[in-house]
Amino acid sequence: MRFDTHLTAEDSPNIEHLLLGVFPTEFEAHLVESLRRRQAIAAEHGLWDQGALVGYNAYSPVSIEGKSTKRQILGVGPMAIHVDYQGAGHGLRFLEESLKDVEADALVLLGHTAFYEKVGFRPAADFGLTFSDNAEMNAAFMALECWKGALDGLSGRVIYDKMFYGE
């Protein structure tokens, strides 16, 4: 397995293939294609096995409604592990490696809370952060300070790139 921090434009077909195979709809593949094309990705990581992309994770800048900060806050995802590789610990190891490499002050994500708790994410509500007015979505919204206090004074609604909202 090879952890890759330098995915290029040439890797787009591999990324699309992986995301289409992992997620039930084309939403994530389209989202990543748009973010990559508009250079709206702050960092992205891949996991390769024998020439095949079997893991992917992207980070994109977010802002907090009504707040101005120099702190770098990134949204994590979409993250995916190829279906044939799921459930064997690859996702957790990949995420740990990915988090060690990414440069940010704080991270947020919408996802499987039990999975992301394992690497230190906490309910975003603990920091006063929300994703939307939807309680179910807010319950799956998580945050991680890369240094203690990174989110101090930054409570509010987190705004992602418009493509995350399916616009």
Three-state SS for 86?
coil
Which of 17, 67, 90, 157 contacts ligand COA by CB under 6 A?
90
Burial class (CB in 10 A: 0-12, 13-18, 19+), 155: middle
* Cα–Cα dist 157/71, whole Å: 16
Nearest to 119, CA basis, from 152, 88, 142: 142
Which of 4, 34, 48, 111 contacts ligand COA by CB under 6 A?
111
- Verify binding: residue 114, ligand COA, rule CB under 6 A: yes
- Verify binding: residue 21, ligand COA, rule CB under 6 A: no
* Cα–Cα dist 11/107, whole Å: 25
Which of 3, 115, 128, 155 contacts ligand COA by CB under 6 A?
115
**Of 5-13, 90-98, 130-138, 150-158, which part binds ligand COA (CB under 6 A)?**
90-98
Per CB under 6 A, residues contacting ligand COA are 22-23, 77, 79-81, 86-92, 111-112, 114-115, 118
